[in-house]
Every structure is written in structure tokens, then in C-alpha cells.
Amino acid sequence: MLTRKQYELLMFIHERVRESGIPPSFDEMKDALDLKSKSGIHRLITALEERGFIRRMEKRARALEIIKLPDNVAETARPATTRNQALRMSPGRHGRGAASDPRAGGNPRRSMGEGEGAINVPLLGRIAAGTPIEALQNKMADVPVPSGIIGRGDHYALEVTGDSMINAGILDGDTVIIQEVDTANTGEIVVALIDASEATLKRLRRRGDSIALEAANPAYETRLYGADRIKVQGKLVGLIRRY
């Protein structure tokens, strides 16, 4: 699952390589995505590399190799031919512009704020992407989410506070869409309830009889708990960002 910015960057790199055979520079990527600094590009590239979409080759200038593309692009064999097309195919931003979910084949969809093609998901409060804070709250509001994000089962939304997951493309103030499950595979990003009192958003790693909750920011340490202290309350399936 890619965030909108990750998807935009991947398609921009792909199109540039397809046209010229040379990946864009960091400055070109920064300008194309309207970011203020190259540090944001570094984070996006790291996230794409971790997800297996690109590979960085050491000791070579502009050494980025596309390994795979999102399913809808690979299946149709018709990648976006301009940056505007890539933007139109990217996941919808909350309440702005026409967009589509990448997994939905790139067909235009009204913005989530307009309601067409969207499903209301309950917003249950805030979740810490940092030091664990209070557990989930009661329903605060409804959040319209593109139907392509929603799979089987129940889903809910949470507002992210903190920056411990920034290298996974999850920023302070984002709204994450969570599929309600009580189990998760190692490596998945989950809502974890610690000691039935504190909830946090982290990557789950199983280590024997213990569970590690791993941040995506080197400023935060990985925390290790006994398996009986952790209850999975859902796993990440989507993200909404306001601008």
C-alpha cells in the first residue's frame, strides 16, 4: 500500500527513466512533488525501497532502479505518460480534486469530500505514532474513504499524532484507515493496545514469545513486550492526508 506521495514519486521516476533512460535528480523530484526540501524525497525513496518498488545502487549517480510498479500499472502495461496522469491516478486527497485509488485501475473518482464512490468510516480518536498514549476513544465523526481502500470486514479511522512512523510515510496529522483484526503478520503496521491501556501505531515484529513494536524513525527505540501484554486491534490499510 503506497501513500499518495510515494505513488507520485514512483510514477515520476518511472516516466523519467522511460523517456530518457536516466532517473531524475533529487532536486527534480523535490520540485515535481512540490516539496520544500530534499529530506522529504529521501524519506519517500527509503519507503519505496523498503516496499520493494525501487533499488538504490551504490557509488553511481542518480542510481535508482524501478523493480516493480503498482498492480494496476503492471496489469494494464500502460504507465502514466505525464506527471499530470500520475497525479490523476494517485490515491485521493481528503476533500480536494478528482482522484482514484491506485488499486482501482486508475479510473477517475470524485474526491472523498463529494461522497461518490466513498464509504463512511468512523473516526475513533487519536493514535500515537510516538510514545504510546490513551487507548481508542468513542466515535467522534465519520470519514469518507474511497471504496477501493476498504476490503472485507470492519474498518475505522484514527488521527495520527507524533512522528515515529515518518519513514513509513505516516506523518503527524495524517488520518490512517485501519482494518479491524486481532492478528497480524510480522512486519505489518498495526494498532497495538499495550497492557489494555495505551494504544500506539507501530510495525509489529514477532521475536519468539515476545512482540517488538518498531518505529520507522531512528529517533525512537524499538520496544519489546511479552506477547500477553499486546493486543492487536487492527492493521493499516490506507492513509488520508490534508493539505
pLDDT tens digits, one per residue of 35-49: 888 888 888 988 888
**List of residues 6+ apart from 115 with CB closer than 8 A:** 144
CB 151 within 8 A of CB 123: no
Q: Which residues pair with 4 in a beta bridge?
A: none
Provide the pLDDT for residue 188: 95
The pairing of beta strand 118-128 with beta strand 141-146? antiparallel
> Domain extents for the chain?
4-90, 118-240
Q: Among residues of the chain, what percentage have pLDDT more than 70?
A: 74
**Range in 33-47, 185-199, 217-231 with the lowest mean pLDDT:** 33-47
Looking at domain 4-90, its CATH architecture is Orthogonal Bundle (1.10)
Task: Specify the pLDDT at position 133.
Answer: 59
Confidence of residue 50 (pLDDT cuts 50, 70, 90): confident
Q: What is the mean pLDDT of the chain?
A: 77
Specify the fold of 118-240.
Umud Fragment, subunit A (2.10.109)
> Can you tell me the mean pLDDT for 134-142?
71
Q: Of the ranges 87-101, 108-122, 133-147, which is most confident?
A: 133-147
pLDDT class of 90 with cuts at 50, 70, 90 = very low
pLDDT surpasses 70 at 91: no
Task: Give me the active site residues, please.
Answer: 164, 202
pLDDT score, position 110: 30
Does the pLDDT value for residue 114 go beyond 50? no
* 233 compared with 104, residue with greater pLDDT: 233
- Who has greater pLDDT, 67 or 58? 67
pLDDT at 61 over 60: no
The reply to whether the predicted model has a pTM over 0.75 is no
